[in-house]
Structure 1
Amino acid sequence: MTGQPRRAIVIGGGLTAMLTAQALSSWTDVLVIESDTLPERPEPRKGLPQAAHTHVLWSGGAEAIEGLLPGTAKALEAAGARRIPLTTGMVAYSPKGWFRRWAESHYAITCSRDLLDWVIRGQVLKDPDSRITVMERTKVLGLTGSSASITGVTVRTDDGQDDTLPADLVVDASGKGSRTPFWLEEHGVQGPATRKVDSGLVYASRIYRAPNGLPDTWPIINVQADPRGDGPGQAGIVLPIEEGRWLVTLSGTRGGEPTSDPDDFDLFARGLRHPIVADLMSKAEPLTPVQVTRSTANRRRFYERTAMPDNLLVFGDALAAYNPTYGHGMSVAAQSAVTLDETIRRHGWNTPGLAWRAQKAVAQHVNTAWTFATGTDVFYDGATESGPTASERIAAHLVDRLAYTATGSGRIARDLTEVMTLQAGPERLLRPSTLIAAARGPLKPPLTDPPLSPDERRAIESA
């Protein structure tokens, strides 16, 4: 990065790419290159098949987005997104029992992924004087430059024209199908070390019309899988989204996967560890077919440990993709964009090694999400070639104990929620007071039934 800044290029047009472009636009012109056509309404996008399933924007990610794009929270609310207080607005059955609904300490934003991406894209591009330009229907073919420094990209437009586009910085935010490992090899750079944890999880989702007469504060309903139970891990979630609808997602690991058959969908829900999800589905009107995805493996590429060429960054799912159960991908992307802006602010746009500093800095956000995502999946048969590592076993034991304690301790529930929502790192769970509380266990006896309010129970009964 020498001389005056000309342009940054962001590969991809999804949420990660848009937030990254917004962060960079404070410093330079930005060209976003997207292979598809971006929809003008909250509609499915070809490059985002996982959009049909549940997505949660945790408060750590929501606040990062608000910092980049002030007014986004109000725009999401106006579009119909729900703000769910935590843990007040969640009825969750963990392997350790029912969590209580403590006073609000954090929150989650829930809506369809199509709506979320559309609102954020609109916020990024609404300024007519924006320094961000989007080039659609254009495929990135490779990187220009050398093993020491990347100078731009080569592209092919939908009419078959090839071109070379120079840039001071290239950010790969293209998602799970990222070609950066291959492009690095073309420049004589060894690709990053990779860790893959694949529980064989299959997701099946369907949208329902929620019953009439429900309280406006209707909670998230979540029956979690038990990775140490007998047989496959099966789970279900009822997520309130815009327009009075529920997005219901069921999931199962190898040997216990859901299918796209509507009858099987209902039977699968009835076979979960508790019938509450099935009971709610029976009260609601199905609006869509069942959609299935098998692309749920956790995969992390350790670019921060790689001898990367200067001026090249990798963000989002291209860097680390997680089992969507924990909903961390979008929040990590938002926090990574903020960290990129902070790194530029600290070191300067023309500082040599800026990309490496930013790559290393965003690893802290990835670490937290990775610990949660793999801490459960790694214990399923066939998830890895060698099974859990010693550190993964220790971390899982600690999280299990904390989860058990959180069923009857508001303070530990808040600590866990703070890390889950990415508003604190895992070190929050290692404070002496937290470890002592975990050793003592829950302060209240276990709940035997879902912690629904009287109004919620009446609404279900009368639906």
Structure 2
Amino acid sequence: MNQSSPPRHAVVIGGSLAGLLAAAVLAEHATVTVIDADPLPEGPAPRRGLPQARHTHLLWSGGARAIERILPGITDDWTKAGAIRRSLPTDLVTKTAQGWIPRCGEKQFNISCSRDLLDSVVRARVTGLAAVTTLQQSRVRGLEGTAARVTGVRVDTPEEQDRLVTADLVVDASGRGSRARTWLQALGVSGIRQAEVDSGLVYATRIFEAPAGAHEMGFPIVNVQSDPRVPVPGQTATIVPIENGQWQATLSGTRGGQPTGDPDAFIPFAKSVRDPIVGQLLEGRKPLTDVAVTQGTANRRIYFEKAELPDGFFAVGDSVATFNPLYGQGMTVAAQGLLAVRTLLRAKGLAHPGIGREAQRVIAPQVATAWELATSQDILYPGATGMKPRAGTGLLNGYVNRLMTGATTDEALTAALFNVLTMSIEPTHWLRPSVVWHVARASDRGALKAPPLTAAERAVAGLDPAPGTRTGAGNTGPGAGTGAGTGTGAAPTGPASDPVGPADPVGQAR
């Protein structure tokens, strides 16, 4: 904060990940008050305002790097708290629409843990900043100001109704249930357009006790995706090893093929998707929770950046756009957008005229990229509603399908796939001549036919006898020990010589 200028104050509406990161960015320039309707827990604990936290959340390397730049050392804090840094695709067994991805050396990474743990570590760091205070169990009822300038918020606190909290800048990070459009309309702001693509997705999650020894050996994430090219409901099944020796299992289905909260139907659903491996892994495992079900997962985008917003306001995170949670984009989009806002504020300062509108515009590119990736796939499912694909989308989808087919056999295309999916590089990376050359030669010849779990992984999961144990057939079952292009029975570990340099200071390959 520049001590020679008058003291400035910012308000952040919402104390989830996007709001906390916004507060950290703004704390360089002002005192910050984070207002949240819930009490903010001290450690990893559920919050009523974040019901989706019950489901799997993967923080891609593109988002982890952005948060690391905003809060240096946060990756170490996460791992010390129990989160797991996973090399991709080394620590991933995934069947895409085009087939099984080989587990070659590290191209990118993700952070795997419960959303409660992820948020709690960030919350402890941000609320510990001298410039940040919180106003908890308090609900914002509207913006204060005019169509030209927002000057604060009206908030109901436990002690006072309709309290005025003045601010030089108000950031809405209140999430999917944001009322920002209504609040702005009450100030006389019009023309805020909204778009939606809804595949009817429902997802259901249950936590299980992991097999003994699975956590210690670094058991991989296991994921079976749907194929939007086939005109049937899209169904998926995923296991993510998280803290405390637990497996977080999430199922999903689009309209006409949705999972339910019936615990007896959970494993049968997992077995019914394009490969039964997730259901097989869960069979016999001890459930630790009930089945949590979430509906209302439509992709929704509000084009704040195209409206004549009042000065002193911008929105971020799910308040701007929500995405099908299966793509894991939300946290990364918010973090990268706020990193761009930090760059803007360091260049121009909080007092710069129109800084809120400029902040909204610098967030837009990250949102647009994720929006195109998510909606171009979701609109293909039967019964999907909303904005239709732009002209030329079919041609682009055909190219991406070919790239993803090549990613099942060609390590260069595997790298290109994860560079973009983890939001580490822009999708235009896929159109570079070096990538196009590989796409032109893409083939699924020699692709894996079964999940590439190692013999040791299958044994610890109870699918096969332990390595070295004699069996009648003398093998370890289909797909055991397939290293996919490595020529070994175990998946390779450690960073690859990839130009992105994934094994950077944000955690090294384990």
Give secondary structure in 1 for the equivalent of 2:28.
coil
Matches within 5 A, 1:175-190: 175-190=175-190
Structure 1 runs of 4+ aligned residues shifted over 3 Å read none
Letter in 1 for 2:86: I
Give ranges in structure 1 of 5+ residues lacking alignment: none
Choose 18-27 or 326-335, whichever is displaced more: 326-335
SS of match in other structure, 1:286: coil
Report matched runs for 1:57-456 at 5 Å: 57-127=59-129, 130-214=130-214, 216-385=217-386, 387-442=388-443, 445-456=446-457
In the TM superposition, residue 372 of structure 1 has moved relative to its aligned partner by 2.2
Counterparts of 1:394 and 1:310, CA distance in 2? 41
Could you list the per-position Cα deviations for residues 84-126 of structure 1 after superposition, in whole angstroms to 9, with x for gaps in the alignment?
A: 0011111111111111112102100000011111111011123
Find the aligned partners of 2:252 and 2:52 in 1 and give their Cα distance.
13
More displaced, 376-385 or 83-92? 376-385
Q: Deviation at 1:449? A: 1.1
Task: Flag the 1:38–1:462 CA change in 2: closer, same or farther, 3 A.
Answer: farther
In our comparison, the structure showing a higher alpha carbon Rg is 2
Give the CA RMSD over aligned residues.
1.6
Structure 2 CA distance for partners of 1:191 and 1:142, relative to 1, 3 Å: farther
* Deviates further, 151-160 or 23-32: 151-160
Equivalent AA in structure 2 for residue 15 of structure 1:
L
Structure with a larger share of its residues in helix? 1
Q: Give the Å deviation of 1:80.
A: 0.7
Kept in 2, the 8 Å contact 1:54–1:248? The answer is yes
More divergent stretch after superposition (188-197 vs 52-61): 188-197
Alpha-carbon distance in structure 2 between the residues aligned to 1:363 and 1:391: 22
Cα deviation digits, residues 52-71 of structure 1 (max 9, x gap): 10000111111111111122
1:182 touches 1:191 (CA, 8 Å); kept in 2? no
Check conservation: 1:375, 1:395, Cα contact below 8 A.
no
Per-residue displacement from partner, 1:27-48 (whole Å, max 9, x unpaired)? Answer: 1110111111111221110000
Partner SS, residue 93 of structure 1: strand
**1 CA distance for matches of 2:354 and 2:128?**
32
Code of the aligned partner of 2:413: I
State how far apart, in whole Å, the 2-side matches of 1:52 and 1:386 are.
Answer: 29
Alpha carbons of structure 1 residues 338 and 387: separation in structure 2 relative to 1, 3 Å: closer
Larger deviation: 421-430 or 157-166? 157-166
Amino acid at match of 1:371: E
How many matched pairs? 459
CA shift, 1:389, in A, is 2.9
Indicate the SS of the match to 2:164.
strand
With 280-289 and 308-317 compared, the bigger mean Cα shift is at: 280-289
SS of residue matched to 2:188: coil
| Aligned residue in 2 for 1:38 | 40
State the percentage of identical aligned residues: 46
| Secondary structure, aligned partner of 2:29 | coil
Q: Deviations over 1:145-194 (max 9, x none)?
A: 11111111111112452211111111000001111111111111114211
CA contact (8 A) 1:368 1:422 kept: no
Gaps of 5+ in 2: 467-510
TM-score by length of 2: 0.87
**Distance (Å, rounded) in 2 between the aligned partners of 1:401 and 1:242:** 36
Between the aligned partners of 1:165 and 1:204, the Cα distance in structure 2 is: 39
- Distance in 1 (CA, whole Å) between partners of 2:138 and 2:236 is 39
**Larger displacement relative to structure 2 (207-216 or 88-97):** 207-216
Deviation at 1:11, TM superposition (A): 0.4
- Match among 17, 25, 47 for residue 19 of structure 2: 17
Aligned partners of 2:7 and 2:443: how far apart in 1? 56
1:316: how far off? 0.3
Residue pair 2:11, 2:167 contacting (<8 A) in 1 also: yes
Question: Shift of the alpha carbon at 1:381?
Answer: 2.5
What amino acid sits opposite 2:338 in the alignment?
A: A
**CA shift in 2, pair 1:190/1:5, >3 Å:** farther
Q: Is the 8 A contact 1:181 1:191 kept in 2?
A: no
8 A contact 1:5–1:168 mirrored in 2: no
Deviation, structure 1 residue 439: 2.1
Q: Aligned equivalents of 1:298 and 1:78: distance in 2? A: 34
Aligned-pair distance for 1:443? 7.4
Corresponding residue number in structure 1 for 2:475: none
Per-residue deviation at 1:385?
4.2
Q: Distance in 2 between matches of 1:257 and 1:436?
A: 39
CA 1:386–1:121 in 2, change beyond 3 Å: closer, same or farther? closer
Q: Read off the aligned partner of 1:427 and give its amino acid letter.
A: T
Letter in 2 for 1:45: R
Q: Secondary structure at 2:142's aligned position in 1?
A: strand
- Does the CA contact (< 8 Å) of 1:409 and 1:444 recur in 2? no
**Contact 1:151 1:168 (8 Å CA) reproduced:** yes
Q: Distance in 2 between matches of 1:255 and 1:131?
A: 50
